[in-house]
Structure 1
Amino acid sequence: MPELQKPKLHIAMFPWIAMGHIAPFIHVANGLAKRGHSVSILIPRKAILQLGHQNLYPNLIKFHTVSVPQVDGLPPGAETASDIDVSPFNPLALAFQAMSTEVNTLLRCLKPDIVFYDFAHWIPKLAAEAGFKTVYYNVICASFWAITIVPARHFPKDRPLTGLELSEPPKGYPSSRVVFRRHEAWTLSTLPLECGDTTFDVVITAAMQGCDAIANRTCRELEGPMCDYLSSQYNKPVFLSGPVLPEAPAGKLEEKWDTWLAKFKPKSVIYCAFGGQLNLQKDQFQELMLGFEMTGLPFFVAVAKPKGAKSIEEALPEGFLERVGGRGVVYGGWVQQTHILNHPSVGCTVSHCGSGSMWDCLLSDSQIVLVPFTADQTVNTRLLTEELKVAVEVERGEMGWFSKEDLCKTIKFVMDEDSEVGNKVKYNHAKWKKTFTSPGFMDNYMDNFVEQLYQL
């Protein structure tokens, strides 16, 4: 059917209620709305207040508020993953499950053509009754699911799944260095999403098995073989939306941060952020701060306050602020990461390599130093350090944490103009950024993505 004759789609979205999941759903909604399709996004009120400004097409993208019920262990007023500490038991997952009744009612009223979801594995059951199609939209790298969830289906549930148990990959697994270098990549327990007797791998397996199509926020240049593998394992199409990121950050950087960064020469500032959900132990936090101090370079650190601390300031090493003077900022609130990464003074980014931050780093011009904490972040780190060779990971000791000396050494390693490794990752980074930002690259992926949605 010619493009002009095709009816526009109405797509509903219900992402897992974490900012790192909701924001990519809004980005793909913008890509769809740019092509004339309407989108209904079902998220909590707090998420709308924090991320609503990212809606570039308010005439076509509508937010629908869904309430987060109070369940045992969930702090009063908590509505997103940023409101709770990461722990082995996740009360927000229980609340998310309990949202199903309200979401089902809304979807019946909205009558969408297609529903995008990720952790809401019960959506396909409603789809069979209400008559819409379903797309499991994965905002985490496809390699993570291929490495963890697919092997989990091949092993009994009564024993832990670790790399030590797997002498060979599952049958048909694509050859990749990413898979077997680090045993942590096979560990599911570092991503807590327990809901009663339901564990993370069971939830995701059900979510993938029940959908009409799997979609990934990635591109074939980065993860083509892994996407093909997922398609073969689940016997269904896998669509690629591309990274789906804004071409330029909206608005201006907050004046106080712009003024502070402008004091320093180009490419001299270290920026560090670990996402809103990671709460370090106090000793880990202090080692991190001392590592930045040791570099002698200006630094801007945006991390959550450590566990047990009442504030960021309380947890800082003794005499730290006096020693670093005006060359260091340590901030516990939300910051405009993309704006900061694009500031000419920023020359190095220290990141946990969450999926959103991974793409932010790739599209920036700064050197990349990685400190992964969870399994998906470890896989992302493997992609950037071993596959693309655009980043360097900080080495860790036997206790699983790094020293201030190792952090300082790695940062200086990539920022030193005479460093062979630093120049190599800089060259590779520039090459890949040119690919990802080349004219038509993201638009072509989104155009093809829409065509695939019509095929449903």
Structure 2
Amino acid sequence: MSSKSSFELHVVMFPWFAFGHISPFVQLSNKLSLHGVRISFLSAPGNIARIKSSLLVTPNMQIISLPIPTVEGLPPGVNSTAETTPAMAGLLKKALDLMKPQIKTLLAELKPHFVFFDHFQHWIPVIASQLGIKTISYTVFSATSTSYLTVPARISEKGEGPSVEDLKKSPNGYPLTSLTSVKSFQARDFSIVYKSFDGGPTIYDRAVGSRVGCTAMLLKTCKEMEGPYVDFIKKQFKKPVLLTGPLVPEPPSGALDDNWASWLGQFPAKSVIFCSFGSETFLNHDQIKELVLGLELTGLPFFLVLNFPAELNSQTELNRALPPGFLERVRERAVLHTGWVQQQLILAHGSIGCYVCHSGFSSLIEALVNDCQLAMLPLKGDQFLNSKLIAGDLKAGVEINRRDDDGYFGKDDVFEAVKTVMLDSDKEPGKSIRENHKKWREFLLSEQIQNKYIVELIEELKAMA
């Protein structure tokens, strides 16, 4: 499959230390290395084993371990945001900024054509250009959320960040799509992007700085799904914007654990709700209570995965959050689990009919390539905008309704959303949502489309190199 003329391309991959960021870099590395591109992948020592397990073993792939500098308040041995509290994640960014000298030395040794870097490393373009190395700012978020939150149009002529009222509306010049405004509680959540903690650069400063300084931008998306947002980003940054295409995860290897396979196997096809919010998105006790009561109301079997911040005891928290008598009532038809599960293998199981999730972009793609309907409960940041893309533009899922001011949702809101896509699947809007889901599934699973984007990306990189 490798094209003869691309063997000389050498790319350094440097994602932020969070697995939600590392995974898209791994997926892209695998696709590029199959086409003969040489990859040097950088991460912290404690992340290497997990990265190794998903990177393809090819002669042109190497992983380089980078020690994280000591920062006061950051426990030694922290390698990713999975091990930190929100305050510590800020210290991890501080440690990242202290890595400039070692990154510069490494780049001088490796002499790659390109560094693909994440939006927190806004200093990479400067040090790479001193070495004559080109830089690609690789954004792992949807073009929808990037275009809404981290574009120059969000900062006023006086250099002031947007107010909550500003953030409720799309920025000036925004494309005419279903995304015209967001709720008050969502806009308040967005304002964190423009806030500085201990005088350091804001998320906005880092993201926009990365894109202004780089040779070209790369977005993890395709024209077919997010065309208008891609065009707006191009206009805003006035530089080449490349696309990876729909980076669909490889089918998972291995088999589903026997205990889960046998539990799921006792229910009819497409009858089970799988509900999970990833490893770094947490619900509070009131939200958990309404969620589980809503799932109970459906009368359907469900598999619920709930995680809690690292410093809390998950089992204790779960027991405190559940309504009295709940476990006894659903014992025959529910599993409640904390910790990691084989998400892709569960979503691919024939009995799963609906996926209730937080709308992380990778989770949404995993749902769309499997035959399970989407009921979305976004809880922070880009999740709110990803959910609007799927429910509004693509009409391939439904968002759980929430109150404007405080984001409250009740058990009936959960029930209504699941009912639309599972119990009312032969009525509108459930019927057309399922049809759209099927259309996007076929599109995303087309090898030809995926391959075309990667081949075009390599051609564009060669032209730049």
Q: Could you state the TM-score of these two structures normalised by the residue count of structure 1? A: 0.92
Displacement of 1:316 after TM fit? Answer: 4.2
**What letter is aligned with 2:365?**
W
Displacement of 1:330 after TM fit? Answer: 1.9
1:73-127 per-position Cα deviation (integer Å, ceiling 9, x unaligned):
4345322111123469722222222233332222222221111001211111111
The answer as to whether partners of 2:115 and 2:136 remain within 8 angstroms in 1 is yes
**What letter is aligned with 2:440?**
W
1:374 is aligned to 380
Alignment of 1:91-240 (within 5 A): 91-118=91-118, 119-150=120-151, 151-154=153-156, 156=158, 158=160, 160-164=162-166, 169-171=171-173, 173-182=174-183, 184=186, 188-190=190-192, 194=197, 196-240=199-243
Change (3 A) 1:70 1:210: same
The range that moved more, 382-391 or 227-236, is: 227-236
What is the alpha-carbon distance in structure 1 between the residues aligned to residue 3 and residue 286 of structure 2?
59
Change (3 A) 1:407 1:83: same
1:320 is aligned to 326
Structure 2: any 5+ residue segments left out of the alignment? none
Displacement of 1:159 after TM fit? Answer: 5.2
Change (3 A) 1:37 1:230: same
The answer as to whether partners of 2:167 and 2:191 remain within 8 angstroms in 1 is no
Displacement of 1:154 after TM fit? Answer: 3.3
The answer as to whether partners of 1:86 and 1:278 remain within 8 angstroms in 2 is no
Q: Find out whether 1:345 has 2:347 as its counterpart.
A: no
The answer as to whether partners of 2:137 and 2:218 remain within 8 angstroms in 1 is yes
SS at match of 2:359: coil
Alignment of 1:284-363 (within 5 A): 284-305=287-308, 309-312=312-315, 313-317=318-322, 318-363=324-369
SS at match of 2:150: helix
What is the alpha-carbon distance in structure 2 between the residues aligned to residue 368 and residue 378 of structure 1?
14
SS at match of 2:13: strand
Alignment of 1:398-409 (within 5 A): 398-409=405-416
The range that moved more, 351-360 or 291-300, is: 291-300
1:440 is aligned to 448
What is the alpha-carbon distance in structure 2 between the residues aligned to residue 164 and residue 48 of structure 1?
41
Displacement of 1:367 after TM fit? Answer: 0.7
Q: Could you state the TM-score of these two structures normalised by the residue count of structure 2? A: 0.90
**What letter is aligned with 2:325?**
G
The range that moved more, 264-273 or 249-258, is: 249-258
Change (3 A) 1:168 1:383: closer
1:190-248 per-position Cα deviation (integer Å, ceiling 9, x unaligned):
55885643111111111001100000010000112221221222121000011222342
What is the alpha-carbon distance in structure 1 between the residues aligned to residue 157 and residue 398 of structure 2?
33
Change (3 A) 1:95 1:153: same
SS at match of 1:131: coil
1:367-388 per-position Cα deviation (integer Å, ceiling 9, x unaligned):
1000111231111011000100
**What letter is aligned with 2:14?**
F
What is the alpha-carbon distance in structure 2 between the residues aligned to residue 182 and residue 211 of structure 1?
33
Structure 1: any 5+ residue segments left out of the alignment? none
The answer as to whether partners of 1:17 and 1:81 remain within 8 angstroms in 2 is yes
Displacement of 1:66 after TM fit? Answer: 1.5
The answer as to whether partners of 1:306 and 1:315 remain within 8 angstroms in 2 is no
The answer as to whether partners of 2:156 and 2:162 remain within 8 angstroms in 1 is no
The answer as to whether partners of 1:242 and 1:445 remain within 8 angstroms in 2 is yes
What is the alpha-carbon distance in structure 2 between the residues aligned to residue 198 and residue 61 of structure 1?
33
What is the alpha-carbon distance in structure 1 between the residues aligned to residue 320 and residue 309 of structure 2?
7
The answer as to whether partners of 2:3 and 2:36 remain within 8 angstroms in 1 is no
SS at match of 2:228: helix
Runs of 4+ with deviation above 6 angstroms: 165-168
**What letter is aligned with 1:146?**
S
2:266 is aligned to 263
Q: What fraction of aligned residue pairs are identical, expressed as a percent?
A: 36
Displacement of 1:452 after TM fit? Answer: 1.0
2:396 is aligned to 390
The answer as to whether partners of 1:17 and 1:79 remain within 8 angstroms in 2 is yes
Displacement of 1:136 after TM fit? Answer: 0.5
2:421 is aligned to 414
1:162-194 per-position Cα deviation (integer Å, ceiling 9, x unaligned):
3447877424x3222214254536853355885
Change (3 A) 1:71 1:329: farther
What is the alpha-carbon distance in structure 2 between the residues aligned to residue 243 and residue 328 of structure 1?
33
What is the alpha-carbon distance in structure 2 between the residues aligned to residue 257 and residue 243 of structure 1?
29
SS at match of 1:177: coil
Question: CA RMSD for the aligned pairs?
Answer: 2.5
Change (3 A) 1:264 1:201: same
The answer as to whether partners of 1:75 and 1:84 remain within 8 angstroms in 2 is no
**What letter is aligned with 2:303?**
F
- Number of paired residues? 454
Displacement of 1:31 after TM fit? Answer: 0.5
SS at match of 1:188: helix
**What letter is aligned with 1:382?**
K
SS at match of 2:39: strand
Displacement of 1:288 after TM fit? Answer: 2.0
The range that moved more, 340-349 or 36-45, is: 36-45
The range that moved more, 84-93 or 249-258, is: 84-93
SS at match of 1:420: coil
**What letter is aligned with 1:153?**
I
The range that moved more, 296-305 or 161-170, is: 161-170
Alignment of 1:12-91 (within 5 A): 12-86=12-86, 90-91=90-91
The answer as to whether partners of 2:10 and 2:38 remain within 8 angstroms in 1 is yes
What is the alpha-carbon distance in structure 1 between the residues aligned to residue 397 and residue 187 of structure 2?
18
SS at match of 1:175: coil
The answer as to whether partners of 2:211 and 2:217 remain within 8 angstroms in 1 is yes
What is the alpha-carbon distance in structure 1 between the residues aligned to residue 5 and residue 422 of structure 2?
54
**What letter is aligned with 1:142?**
A
